[in-house]
């Protein structure tokens, strides 16, 4: 059986995870922290993740082990270089 987990940002900017227990886990500092918390709390069991981010609705299926990465680390992000032409 797959879990159904919902992640949403609260009015004060923290994040909540719904679906792990009868009460949501609240006051998580970031989306990444809330996903890490959920993965550990359910021992990376198969889950459907629903994210509500700035009005966008995202659904992600995670198989057992949650091997699908959701974020790039800062080391993986290369800065964009602006090219200006003064012709």
Average pLDDT score over residue span 5-14: 92
What is the rounded average pLDDT of the residues 52-57? Answer: 86
Checking if the pLDDT of 31 tops 70, the result is yes
Model confidence, pTM: 0.77
| Contacts (Cβ under 8 Å, ≥6 apart) of 60 | 48, 49, 51, 68, 70
pLDDT at 76: 56
Give the integer Cα–Cα distance in Å for 34 and 18: 10
Q: Is the pLDDT of residue 66 over 90?
A: yes
For the chain, the maximum distance between any two Cα atoms, rounded to a whole number of angstroms, is 63
Residue spans of beta strands (DSSP E) within 1-87: 3-9, 15-18, 25-28, 47-53, 56-62
Burial of 28 (0-12, 13-18, 19+ CB in 10 A): buried
Q: Output the pLDDT for position 44.
A: 95
């Amino acid at each position: 059986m797959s879990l159904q987990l919902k992640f949403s940002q609260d009015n004060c900017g923290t994040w909540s995870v719904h679906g792990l227990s009868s009460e949501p886990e609240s006051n998580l500092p970031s989306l990444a922290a809330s996903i890490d918390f959920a993965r550990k709390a359910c021992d990376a069991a198969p889950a459907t993740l629903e994210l509500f981010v700035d009005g966008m609705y995202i659904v992600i299926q995670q198989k057992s082990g949650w091997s699908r990465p959701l974020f790039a680390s800062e080391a993986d992000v290369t800065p964009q270089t602006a090219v200006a032409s003064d012709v």
